[in-house]
Structure 1
Amino acid sequence: ICNTVYRRIPLRGVCTKCGGNLTLTVHERSIKKYLEISKMLTEKYDLPGYARQRIKLVEKSIESLFTNDKVKVTKLSDFL
């Protein structure tokens, strides 16, 4: 309601100024940059399969988080 910005969200889970609900905002690029680094490190240090699988699962989770199912990119050939 009041658009207050928090560096760290209040423990109460509501705005300390107005008592309204909080809107959490996370930018896709700020998460994916760490994913790319972790993938690079698994290759560089030849980590075991379990670590590689976990990183792939995290990657899929991130993709599903930032993919909007309502938005579909269509090509001209789809209409022909």
Structure 2
Amino acid sequence: DIVGNLKVFASQAFRCKRCNARFRRIPLGGRCTRCGGELTLTVYKGSVEKYLEIARWLAEAYGLEEYYRQRITLVKSEIEAVFSAGEREGKKTTQLTDFL
């Protein structure tokens, strides 16, 4: 479930908050092309991370095989890489007009 949620997060769509229109890719203007409303993600960070700590605890508490503990560790590092990259991108915003 954790890996599936991460995969869906990486290929998610965007949704208009006002008219509920869906877009596979965010429009260049950053707003809904139908009504001009604000866009939001369809999959949230919390839905990707919600079972990670529980899975780690279960693996340790019930002594699961090393394969499963390593798999959980790898998924955790992938999740951290995806979200830390997003946080780095959020700090530096560049407008298209900055290149003109």
Name the TM-score class by shorter chain. Answer: 0.5 to 0.7
Normalising by structure 1, we get a TM-score of: 0.56
Larger radius of gyration: 1
Give secondary structure in 2 for the equivalent of 1:54: helix
Asked whether the equivalents of residues 52 and 76 of structure 2 are also in contact (C-alpha less than 8 Å), the reply is yes
CA distance in 2, matches of 1:41, 1:33: 14
Give secondary structure in 2 for the equivalent of 1:26: coil
Q: What are the residue-to-residue correspondences of 1:44-55 with 2, within 5 Å?
A: 44-55=61-72
RMSD: 2.9
Aligned length: 59
Deviations 1:28-80 (A, max 9, x none): 22322200110011011100111000000000010011113344xxxxxxxxx
Question: In the alignment, does 2:65 pair up with 1:62?
Answer: no
Higher-RCO chain (CA-CA 8 Å, sequence separation at least 6) = 2
Question: As a proportion of its length, which structure holds more strand?
Answer: 2
Paired AA for residue 47 in structure 1: L
Q: Among the aligned pairs, what percent are the same residue?
A: 40
**4+ long deviations beyond 6 Å:** none
Normalising by structure 2, we get a TM-score of: 0.47
Q: Structure 1 residues 25 and 49 mapped into 2: Cα distance closer, same or farther (>3 Å)?
A: same
Q: Structure 1 residues 21 and 29 mapped into 2: Cα distance closer, same or farther (>3 Å)?
A: closer
